[in-house]
Amino acid sequence: MNPYTVKIENLSLGYGNAKNVKHKIFPAFSVTADNAQFTALVGRNGVGKSTLLRTLAGLQNIFSGNIYINGKSTLTLSRKNYADLISFVSTEMIRVMHLKVFDLVAMGRYTYTNLFGNLSTNDEKIIVDSLKMVGMSDFIWRNVSELSDGERQRIMIARALVQDTPIMILDEPTAFLDIPNKYEIILLLKNLTRQKSKTIIFSTHDLNIALQLADKIWLMANRKMHEGTPSQLIRTKAFDEMFADTVLKMENGEVKFK
Amino acid sequence: MQANFYYMANDRTRRKFYFGALSLTAILLFLLDIVLGSISISIEEIFNVLFADDKVEPHISNIIINFRLPRACAALLVGVALSVSGLQMQTIFRNPLADPYILGVSSGASLGVALFLLGSSVFTVILPTLVSNFCIASAAFIGAALTLFLILLVSVRIRDIMTVLIFGIMFSGATTAIVGLLQYMSSESALKTFVVWTLGNLGNSTFDEIKIMFAVTLIGLTTVIFSIKKLNVLLLGDVYAQTVGVNVKRARILIFASTSLLTGQVVAFCGPIGFIGIAVPHIARMFFRRADHRILIPACILIGANIMLFCDIVSQLPGYGMILPINIVVAFVGIPVIIRIILSNKKIVS
């Protein structure tokens, strides 16, 4: 697989309304996510994490600035081009009656299948393998509506995996999960960057996870984007900006009361 | 792993059996629909009319060709069209209560018919005493077509699907108000004609009109073939559909066009027949226990045809001395059947 690098240049976040009045919610910044790296996006509620991830995935128009994937601007990409490059897992909980795990995961093969969506033996093998990878082999013919939150998150990741894209974007993949499930899913994702050379960008509120397991952190705080390895950000005291006007502080990589 | 795929193979066998059985009962009900009625006709006579015309008495042949056969065809087409439309609407709006009329197609058609039937009495335009069914159908069709145009316009400009839904409901409300005003102001006879129209009628259509219905249904169903894959992904909502490569706006136009065509022709030729469009997709899901549209669309086609033919048979069982309005039968026969299915299914599931 070719190296896939995501480069964000002078991107600012915001939204415009029908009368073309624009509201900027985050000023321009530049960051990169390198090939086969595990990048965590951290920041407080409402700072614009989801907006950034949605913009990256092409679900939202770029407010201003540029996004490049392997040096090519994403402005001209079609929906299919995006689907070939980036798979996305949102925070939305899917509860569709009578929807089988197999059928849900199969949706990731959308661009690969024919008009009717008929799956080839190869497609079926990819689906089975992906479910095995996320530890959900035994659930293949279960109803999605009967799964626990952790199980559902795993099959949403399997669905992103069968899309077979070089880049994966996940919005809070560990929300709603218990601690063992959190770590299992994050380790699973990290393994994908190592074994399958996937470039993964995920947002999280769990600083322990970001500090211990991410290769790089994008920290959105105090209207500034801080980029660096976990130890770099601890050294530059970037987290203090995130905890400004709260009762918390960061000390030696641990969150403490002031 | 082996065991799981064995289960899937097993499931396929069961599915084939269901499809086979449903096709068979549809054919049987279709024949029964022609046979039963105030004058009984034998199966032999039906085949003779179709394949050896000279062997049958002219009045029997007349009944079959001009009344029973078009009626049975109308029932079949209405069942198919409404069920497939309802399924598409429930999927795209991700709402189990969505029905084919949610976009306002029937309201638009009703407005067309009301303007034609009631407006003429309000504005004292002299109509020919016998208002032909084709005129009503044309009025309804124009109303439905204008609504479709409006829906497409809205769906291209509005991004959020729930806004489209609210727009549809508001549009229905507005047209209902206009229809109400027309009803309030119109003459009694025109009002009765309109009320009868709202009760639905499968027996109005001539064979030529059935041909039009057949053609439109075929176009609508062909369009659905192109959206099967999109419908499957839309189960997860617009965001996931986009990220796997669906152009959501284009998909929406395709699905709305198909639904409007299928539903519009039903309302135009047979009136606003309720309830089938909302119930059949649920029955299909319960029977086949899948959400995959490759299974659900043929399932809706077969189950819709079966239920509508059954209702039509009940509407004209010998002994009433008349044919009951189809909407009343659909409600009285259909609702208990469906509640029974839902309840018995609940027992199995929970």
Residue A216's CATH number:
3.40.50.300
Helix (H/G/I), strand (E/B), else coil: A54: helix
pLDDT, residue B246, reads 95
Query: In the numeric block, which tokens belong to residue B332?
Result: 């009285």
For chain B, which residues make up each domain, given as ranges?
18-349
B349 contacts on A by Cβ (under 8 Å): none
ipTM above threshold 0.85: yes
Containing structural domain, residue A19: 6-93+164-257
* A130 occurs within a structural domain: no
CB pair distance less than 8 Å for A163 and B244: yes
C-alpha triplet A18, A20, A24: angle, nearest 5°: 110
* A54 occurs within a structural domain: yes
pLDDT, residue A56, reads 95
A170 interface with B at CB cutoff 8 Å: no
> Nearest-CA distance from A177 to chain B in Å?
21
pLDDT, residue B128, reads 52
* A68 occurs within a structural domain: yes
β-sheet bridge partners, residue A41: A203, A218
CB pair distance less than 8 Å for A115 and B237: no
pLDDT, residue B345, reads 59
CB pair distance less than 8 Å for A110 and B242: no
Q: What is the pTM (predicted TM-score) of this model?
A: 0.90
B242 contacts on A by Cβ (under 8 Å): 58-59, 79, 82
A11 interface with B at CB cutoff 8 Å: no
SS (H, E, C) A78-123: CHHHHHHHEEEECCCCCCCCCCEHHHHHHHHHHHHCCCCCCCCHHH
B4 interface with A at CB cutoff 8 Å: yes
A25 interface with B at CB cutoff 8 Å: no
> Nearest-CA distance from B115 to chain A in Å?
35
Residues 151-180 (B) with a CB less than 8 A from some CB of A: none
Q: How far apart are the first and last CA of chain B?
A: 27
* A208 occurs within a structural domain: yes
CB pair distance less than 8 Å for A57 and B1: no
* A106 occurs within a structural domain: no
Q: Are A93 and A153 a contacting pair, CB within 8 Å? A: no
- List, for chain A, all residue ranges whose pLDDT scores fall below the cut of 50: 1
A108 contacts on B by Cβ (under 8 Å): 244
CB pair distance less than 8 Å for B243 and A128: no
Nearest by CB to residue B235, choosing from A79, A96, A163, is: A96
Match 């990256």 to its residue by tokens: A56
* A181 occurs within a structural domain: yes
Per-residue pLDDT of chain B (350 residues; tens, 9 = 90+): 455 565 666 688 889 999 999 999 999 999 999 888 777 788 888 888 777 766 777 888 888 888 889 999 999 999 999 999 999 999 998 888 788 888 888 889 889 888 888 777 666 555 554 556 778 888 888 888 888 888 888 888 887 888 888 888 888 889 989 999 988 888 888 888 888 888 988 888 888 889 999 999 999 999 999 999 999 999 999 999 999 999 998 999 899 989 988 998 999 889 999 889 988 998 898 889 899 999 999 999 999 999 999 999 999 876 667 888 999 999 887 677 667 766 765 544 43
User: To probe the interface with B, which of A78, A103, A156, A162 has the most B CB atoms within 10 Å?
Assistant: A103
CATH architecture of the domain formed by B18-349 = Orthogonal Bundle (1.10)
pLDDT, residue B135, reads 81
Q: What is the dihedral of CA A117, A122, A123, A129, to 10 degrees?
A: 170
* A126 occurs within a structural domain: no
Number of folded domains in chain A?
1
CB pair distance less than 8 Å for B243 and A57: yes
A90 contacts on B by Cβ (under 8 Å): 239-240
A96 contacts on B by Cβ (under 8 Å): 94, 235-236, 291
* A177 occurs within a structural domain: yes
